[in-house]
Amino acid sequence: MGKPRMIILIRHAQSEGNKNREIHQTVPDHRVKLTAEGWKQAEAAGLKLRSLLRPDDTLHFFTSPYRRTRETTEGILNALTSSNPAPSPFPRHAIKVYEEPRLREQDFGNFQPGSQEMTRMWSERAEYGESNLTLIQGHFFYRIPNGESAADAYDRVSGFNDTLWRSFGNDDFASVCVLVTHGLMTRVFLMKWYHFSVEYFEDLRNVDHCEFVVMKKSKENQKYILQNELRTWSAFRKEKAEVREPESPIPVRKKWAGYQDGNDVESRRRQARRKNTADMFADDISDAPSIEQANVRNDGPTFRGMKMPAFSKERNGRYHSAVTPFDSPLGGLHRQPLEELIIPDEGRDGGGSRSGAPSRSGSDESDEPPRQHARGSMAMALCGQLGESHSPHRARADALGDQSDVDDEAS
C-alpha cells in the first residue's frame, strides 16, 4: 500500500509517577502503571481515534515497552474496537501492535534519588550550557547520572525513523500508523523528522497526556504536514506578559506609619524642633527698642555690649527697673520683685543641684561639709555683679534661664 496517509503520535495517559514523583525512588520506571484517571484518558483517546479514521483504514500500532504505554495502548484498543455505542469497523484481530524499545522513555537511571537531589538535578539540567549568547540547551545535552541525555534518545529515535521509513515500502503496511510513546520522545521524533534545531527543541513545551500529534500526507508532494500548532515556552511567556493588568495611570500614594508618602524621614527632620530658651527670646530681643529709645540710665551693668537697665529702691523698699517691664529688652522678666529671683542657697536652675537633681544644701547623708552653691548668674547680672571673667555665652544663657550643661565655675 505504500506510505500511510496519517501518522499519529500519542503520549501515554496519566501514570502514578505523574501523580507522585517519589514512586520512582522504589519502583523502576518501566514498571510504573496508569492511575484510574489514566485509564479513563486512554479510553477517551480510543474514541477520539475512532472519530478520525475511515471505515476502510488499517492500523499499525508501535508502542514503547513500558507498562504505562502498553496500558495506554490497551485502553485505546478497548474503546476503538468496542461495540458501544455502535459496532466498530475495526476488529481487534485486524490491528497489528508492535513493541518498539527505541520508543521508550529517556533513561533516568535505575532508581531516581530523593526529591531534594532530583530538584538539584533538574535545576542543574536547566542551567547546563547556559550562556549570554545562546539559548539554554540543558535539556538536550545534559546526561542524567547513570542515565541518558535527550541527545542519546535522539540517536535511537533516528534509527527507528529509518526503520519506519523503509517499512513504508511494504505493500501490507497500514494506512494509519499510531505511535504510543512518551512526552520527550514525541518531541525528539518530531525534531528528527522535521529537522528542528536544538534551540527550537528546547523551546518546545511538553504535550499533554493522550494528546494527539497528527501528521498528514500531502497529496501534492507526498510529504507529511504537521497538523498541530506546537506550544512553545516563548509564546507562553509572551501570553503571560500580555494578560498582566495594566498599571494604574494615577499613582497611588503609599501610607505607612501614619504618613501619606510613607515614612518620610527627611520631611520629619524638617519639622520644627524644640527651641532653646535663648532662641525663643532672640526675636523679642532683636525687636526690642534700644536703650537710648527707652531712656535708660547708663550707670547699669553691661550685658553683651548692651547696657542693662538700672534699678532703684524707690517704692516700698523693693528694687524696680527704671524701664517698664514691657519696654525692657528682657521682656517680662522684671514683673516679679528682684528678691524672689535671688536664691543664694540653691542650684543655678533655681530649685536643685547643678545636675538638676533635687537636693538640700547641707544634707546630713554625706560626711562632707555642706557646699555653698554659687549665686546664679542671672541674679548677679541683675544686681550688677557679673564680672568680666564670666563667659559671654554663659552670661546670656544664665540671664535668659537656659538650662545648659555648662558647669558652675564654683564647683
Catalytic residues: 12, 105
Rounded to a whole number of angstroms, the distance between the first and last alpha carbons of the chain is 122
Cell numbers found for residue 333: 522678666
Q: What is the per-residue burial (b if ≥16 Cβ within 10 Å, else e) of 164-189?
A: beebeeeeebbbbbbbbbbbbbbbbb
Cell numbers found for residue 359: 537636693
Among 13, 31, 30, residue whose Cα is nearest residue 78: 13
Tell me how far the alpha carbon of residue 241 is from its chain's centroid.
18
Tell me how far the alpha carbon of residue 257 is from its chain's centroid.
22
How crowded is the C-beta side of 403, counted as CA atoms within 13 Å? 11
214 phi, psi to nearest 5 deg:
-105, 135
Asked if 233 and 135 touch (Cβ cutoff 8 Å), the reply is no
Among 370, 348, 350, residue whose Cα is nearest residue 361: 370
CA-to-CA distance for 3 and 11, rounded, in angstroms? 23
